[in-house]
Amino acid sequence: MIIVGGGVVGTALLYLLSNYSKARVLLLEKYETNAKLNSNSKNNGQTLHFGDIETTYTLEKAKRTKAASEMLLVYTSKLPTAQRNTILSKTPQMVLAVGSEEVEFLRKKYDPKYRALFPGMRMINKKEIGRLEPNLLKGRDRAEALIAAYSAAGYGIDFGRLSDSFVKKAQGAKVSFNDGVISVKQTTDGYSLKTTKSSYCARFVVFSAGAQSLKFAKQLGYGLSLSVIPILGSFYYSRAVVKSKIYTVQGGSIPFLGAHADPDINSKDRTRFGPTITPYPFLEKSKPLTIIDHLNAVGMDLDYMRSITNIMRNKDLSSAFLRNLGYRIPLLGKPSFVKDQVQKIVPSLRNEDVKYDISSGGIRPQIIDKSKRSINVGESTLSGESIIFNITPSPGASSCLRIALDNANEIARSLDIKLDSTRIQEDFKAAAHA
Ligand SMILES: Cc1cc2nc3c(=O)[nH]c(=O)nc-3n(C[C@H](O)[C@H](O)[C@H](O)COP(=O)(O)OP(=O)(O)OC[C@H]3O[C@@H](n4cnc5c(N)ncnc54)[C@H](O)[C@@H]3O)c2cc1C
C-alpha cells in the first residue's frame, strides 16, 4: 500500500502499519525530507492538545482529544530519554480570561464535568497569575478583571521530530523523498499513481497530504460536497517573557483558537505569539503556484459561493478575518497585532519588542461542507474504495496516532490483513493525563 504525504499523520500511519501488520508500505513525499510543512515546529503552535485549554471545544471533543494525545504520551514515554526530550517538553499551560465578560465565560466553561475530566486544572486568581507569570500583570490596568484556568501538566511538542521518530521506527517500510504525486487513477486491483519520479501501483492508498488530499479525492469523484479555505497561521516573537503556554479565551462564534503566547521549543530565549487566522490563496506559504491546487481542491460552483457568503455572515468570524488580513499590511499590520493580541497577554511589550517571524507559518486546510454551507471544524477523513483521504487542520497533529489507528483498522479490513490489535492495545494502554 502507498501513503502519500510525510507529515506527522502519514508517518504515524507508516509506523503503525510497519510495526503491527505485515502490509508492504511505501510512503511518497514530495519534499526532500518528512514534516516540511504544517508538521514542522516552525509552522504550528507546538502544543500537545488535550482539550483542557481550548475554550471552543465541547466536552465530547475534549474527551476525544485527550484520549488521542494520551496515545502520543505513551508512545514518547517508550523512547530513550534523550530522544524524548528533543520531542516533548513539559510546560505548564493556562487559559487567560481578560475582562469581566471573559472571566464569566471561563468560570462557566470549567464546570464540574470539565474539572472531572481534567483534575489537574484549577482556577487561579490575579495574585497567583502574577506569582506564576509576573509579565502577565506588569503594565496591566489594576482594575481589569483577570482569572486563568491553570494546569502544570501541559507539553510543548516538536511534531517534526516526532515524525522523524516514526520514520526511524518504521521497520522494513520504504520511503521515497522528492517524489510528489501528480495524478491518481483507479485500476482493476487498486490504484496507479504517477509521480515526479516514477509511477506506482498499490492495492490501497492513503492520502495524508493536507489540502492536497482533497484535490486528489476530487480527481476520483470523492468529496464533491466539500471545499476548503486555506487559513494562514503566522507567528511573531519577542524575548522570553513567559514560562507557560498562555492561551486566551476565544470569543463569539469563531471556530478557531485565539492567538497564544508560548515558550519557543526551538529557542529558550524566545516567546512566540500567534498564530494569526488569515484567509490565504495558496496551499503553501509563499508558493504562488499552489493557487492552482487550491482552486482544484475548492471545486468552484454556486454552492461554494453560497457557503462562503453564509460563513461570512458570521460577524465574529468575518471581522476576525478582516482584522487578521489587516495584520499583513506593511508597517501598520504589526502594531495592530501587538495591540490586539500581544498586549492582551503581556501588556508591557511594545511594538519594537516584537518581530514578525518571516520563516514561520503553516496553512490550516479548513474544510467547508457545501451541503451545510458551513465550516467543518476538526479533521476530516474521507473513505472510498480501498482509498482514504486525511485532511487535518489544527489540532490534527496531536491526534496523529488516533487518526493513523483508525486508518490502519480500515486498511486491515479492506486488504484482509491482520493488524495486531492486542499488541496495540497493550502498547498504548492509556497514561492518565491530569
Ligand atoms: C498555524 C498552525 C498551528 C497549529 N498548531 C497546532 C498545535 O499546536 N497542535 C496540534 O496538534 N496541531 C496544530 N496544528 C495542526 C497540525 O500542524 C496539523 O494538523 C498536522 O501537522 C497535519 O499533519 P499532516 O501530516 O496531515 O499534514 P502536513 O504536515 O501538512 O504534511 C503533509 C505532507 O504531504 C506532502 N505532500 C503534499 N502534497 C503531496 C504530493 N502531491 N505528493 C507527495 N507528498 C505530498 C507535503 O509535502 C507534506 O510533507 C497547527 C496548524 C497550523 C497551520
Question: What DSSP letter does each residue of 338-361 carry, written as one string?
Answer: IIIIIHHH-TT--GGG-EE-TT--
Pocket test for ligand 1, best of 52, 376, 394 (most atoms within 8 A of CB): 394
Kindly list the structural domains of the chain, giving each domain's residue range(s) and its CATH number in brackets, ordered by start.
Answer: 2-427 (3.50.50.60)
* Closest atom of ligand 1 relative to the 362 alpha carbon: 53
The residue whose CA is least distant from atom 4 of ligand 1 is: 44
Are 35 and 6 a contacting pair, CB within 8 Å? yes
Which residues contact ligand 1 via a Cβ below 6 A? 4-10, 28-31, 35-39, 43-47, 49, 159, 180-181, 208-210, 212, 233, 275, 362-364, 390, 392-398
Residue closest by Cα to atom 15 of ligand 1: 394
Question: Binning pLDDT at 50, 70 and 90, where does residue 395 land?
Answer: confident
323 CB-near residues (< 8 Å, 6+ apart): 336, 340
**For residues 108 and 149, is the Cβ–Cβ distance under 8 A?**
no
pLDDT in tens, 337-348: 999 999 999 999
Q: Which amino acid is at 352?
A: E
Residue range 349-393, pLDDT digits in tens: 999 999 999 999 999 999 999 999 999 877 789 999 999 999 997
Nearest CA to ligand 1 atom 1: 233
Specify the ligand 1 atom closest to the Cα of 397: 11
Per-residue pLDDT, 380: 87
Q: For residue 303, how far is its CA from the centre of ligand 1 (angstroms)?
A: 27
SS3 267: coil
Specify the pairing of strand 374-376 against strand 362-369.
antiparallel
Cα–ligand 1 centroid distance for 389 (angstroms)? 13
Q: Quick one: average pLDDT of 182-190?
A: 97
C-alpha cell at 382: 474521507
Give backbone dihedrals phi and psi of 144, rounded to 5 degrees, phi first. Answer: -70, 130
* Average predicted confidence (pLDDT) for the chain: 95
- The pLDDT of residue 370 is 94
Which atom of ligand 1 is found nearest the CA of 179?
A: 43
Closest residue (by CA) to atom 33 of ligand 1? 5
Average pLDDT over residues 409-429: 94
**Ligand 1 atom 37 nearest Cα:** 209
How far lies 397's CA from each of 69, 175, 313, 340, in Å? 9, 20, 30, 27
Kindly report, residue by residue over 298-350, the tens digit of the pLDDT. Answer: 989 999 999 999 999 999 999 999 999 999 999 999 999 999 999 999 999 99
Q: Residue 11 Cα, ligand 1 centroid: separation in angstroms?
A: 11
421 φ, ψ (degrees, to nearest 5): -65, -35
C-alpha distances (whole Å) from 182 to each of 179, 273, 284, 394 are 9, 36, 16, 26
Indicate the pTM of the whole model: 0.96
Mutate-to-test residue for ligand 1 from 37, 179, 272, highest number of ligand atoms within 8 A of CB: 37
Ligand 1 atom closest to residue 8's alpha carbon, by position in its atom list = 25
The protein residue whose alpha carbon is closest to atom 16 in ligand 1 is 397
8 C-alpha to center of ligand 1: Å?
Answer: 7
Q: Is the pLDDT of residue 431 over 70?
A: no
CA-nearest residue for atom 42, ligand 1, is 180
Taking CA atoms only, the protein residue closest to ligand 1 atom 25 is: 7
Arithmetic mean of pLDDT, 219-236: 96
Does the pLDDT at position 211 exceed 60?
Answer: yes
Probe residue for ligand 1, chosen from 32, 37, 38 as the CB with the greatest number of ligand atoms within 8 Å: 38
Is the pLDDT at 434 greater than 70, yes or no? Answer: no
Q: Which atom of ligand 1 is nearest the CA belonging to 34?
A: 49
DSSP state letters, 356-411: E-TT--EEEEEEEETTTTEEE-S-EEEEETTEEEEE--TTGGGGHHHHHHHHHHHH
Length of the chain: 434
Are 253 and 317 in contact by the 8 Å Cβ rule? The answer is yes
Indicate the pLDDT class of residue 255, thresholds 50, 70 and 90.
confident
Nearest atom in ligand 1 to the alpha carbon of residue 233 is 1
Mutate to test the pocket of ligand 1, among 26, 27, 43, 44 (most ligand atoms within 8 A of CB): 44
- Residues 259 and 346: beta-carbon distance below 8 Å: no
Distance CA 97, CA 105 (A): 8
- Residue identifier of the C-alpha nearest atom 35 of ligand 1: 5
